[in-house]
Structures are given as structure tokens and as C-alpha cells.
Amino acid sequence: MDDKLPVSVLLLARDETRDLEALIPSLAFAREVVLVWDAAGDRATRDAASRLGARVFERALDGFGAQRAFALAQCREDWVLWIDADERLDARATAAIHEALRGGGERHWYRIRRAGFFLGRRIRWCGWQGERLARLFRRDAGRFDDAQVHERLHVTGPGGELAGVLEHRSYETWRECVDKMTRYAAANAEQSWRAGRRAGALDLFWRPPLRFVRQYVLQAGWLDGVHGLALCALAAAQVFLKYAELWDRTRRAQDPR
């Protein structure tokens, strides 16, 4: 008798071999793991996912929303668990998923609390506090938007809450922080450009410090010590890079010589 839950785990990956080797075995309760690998990434990541039992699909990344929607279309089970390679369910969250799906009920989706870590330390402020995300949903009750980055899941029907925590360890080294900051700034600029937004010199002047003040002062990032300071400064730098890209595109569009 199959004692696995009727869940498809939805994963995107590029260069996450180490993360996948830790994550996929922890998802043994699910009937399948569906992983879409960015063709520009390290093939070792694809090979590791296949070896660990995931159903692997190859697709060039043209935006996280589109990539996530493609992955959802490959899922076969009634329920979908959306998780990233650098996230981990704690024991209470895994137990809560079992309870929610074994118990039936009328819920179409469930939210879970996410705890963010930065350079090895749990971040409790900086705007990261109180983050609850819909990550478990009926396949026919959810869809992803087409955002280039920071895609969102849109769900319908009644929802519920899961106990436990989803741990997010996206920034383990400073080099990872800088690399992700650069990629995300470029993707955000592309998304804003497509939406018709333009930028001038004033955007470069006031938007980055405004982001820093918001996260470090208004959202109490200073309570996270030097880690909070570094995180808020990194966020401000990402905003600068985004608007510098937008400003450059705007300048070239106005003077195409």
C-alpha cells in the first residue's frame, strides 16, 4: 500500500547540487518531486536531482513566474507543495502537512510561517518578520503570475494555516549574497521596464537610502545587530543597481546614438 501523501513537490533549480542533496531526501513523504532545471546552470545539479528520484525537466529560464507555471503544469498529484532548494521544512511543518492531507476537509490551500537566515543567523526584523506564505495548495486552486522575479501564487477557495516553520537559508556566504543581489536587480529592472517604468537621476539619489531607512529604522533592522546592518545595506545596494539599470535604459532610449 502506498503510504506517501498525494503531493507533488514543485522545485526550480540552477546550481543547487548541495542544497538538493539535503532537501530531496527530506521530502520522501511526497509521491513525486518535480524539478525544472535552468538549462544555463550546472549539469551536476540536474544529475543529482535525477539520482535522488526527482522527475527532472529542462527549460531555459525566461522569468521565475513562467518557470514556476511550467513546473506546475508537470505536476500530477492533487496537491502541490511549492518549495525552493534553499528552504527546509521543520519537523512540525512536515507533521502538519501529514495531518492536513490525511484529515481531508474543505481547505484548498495552506499558509506556513517562513523564517529567514542571513549569513548563518536568524533574522527577526528588517521586514522579514511575520512572513506567512501559501505554499501547499490544491493543484486546481492555484496559479503563478508571470513576474520576472518575486513571482506570486494566486489561490482560490478557503485556506488554512500550517504549524511549524519553513526555514529559508538563501544567503549562506557573502559571495552568494552579492551574486543574487546582482541577478535579482537585473531581473527587477527588466520587469519594471516591461511594465513601462522609467528612471532618472533622482531615483538613484533617493530610492536606495529610502530602502535602507525603511528596513533598518522603520522595520527595526538595527535589532538584528551587524547582520541586520549588512542585510539592509545589501538591500539598498540592490535597489541602486536596479534603478541604475533602468536609468541607463531610459537614457539610451531617449538618445539612441
Does pLDDT of 54 surpass 80?
yes
Does pLDDT of 170 surpass 90?
no
Residue 51's pLDDT is 96
Residue 106's pLDDT is 87
**Which long-range contacts (C-beta less than 8 Å, at least 24 apart) are formed by 103-107?**
105/160, 106/158, 107/157, 107/158, 107/159, 107/160
Does pLDDT of 123 surpass 70?
yes
Give the cell for residue 118.
542571513
Measure the CA–CA gap between 119 and 227, rounded to whole angstroms: 8
Measure Cα distances from 48 to 17, 26, 45, 73, 132 in Å: 6, 15, 5, 22, 30
The fraction of the chain above a pLDDT of 70, given in percent, is: 98
Most confident of 180-189, 191-200, 204-213: 204-213
Residue 5's pLDDT is 95
Does pLDDT of 256 surpass 70?
no
**207 touches 243 (CB < 8 A):** yes
Q: Where are the domains of the chain?
A: 5-171, 174-254
- Higher-confidence position of 15 and 236: 236
Which amino acid, one-letter code, is at 183?
R
pLDDT tens-digit map of 66-98 = 999 999 999 999 999 999 999 999 999 999 999
Mean pLDDT score, 181-190 = 89
pLDDT tens-digit map of 93-118 = 999 999 999 877 789 999 999 999 99
pLDDT band with cut points at 50, 70 and 90 for residue 253: confident
pLDDT tens-digit map of 6-42 = 999 999 999 899 999 999 999 999 999 999 999 888 8
Return the SS3 of 62: coil
Give the residue among 202, 195, 204 at the shortest CA–CA distance from 244.
Answer: 204
Does pLDDT of 1 surpass 60?
no
Average pLDDT over all residues of the chain: 93
Mean pLDDT score, 157-185 = 91
Instruction: Provide the H-helix boundaries in 75-216.
Output: 91-102, 174-194, 201-213
Residue 252's pLDDT is 87
For 5-171, the fitting CATH number among 2.60.120.260, 3.90.550.10, 1.10.10.10, 3.40.50.10090 is 3.90.550.10
pTM over 0.85: yes
- The position carrying cell 528612471 is 199
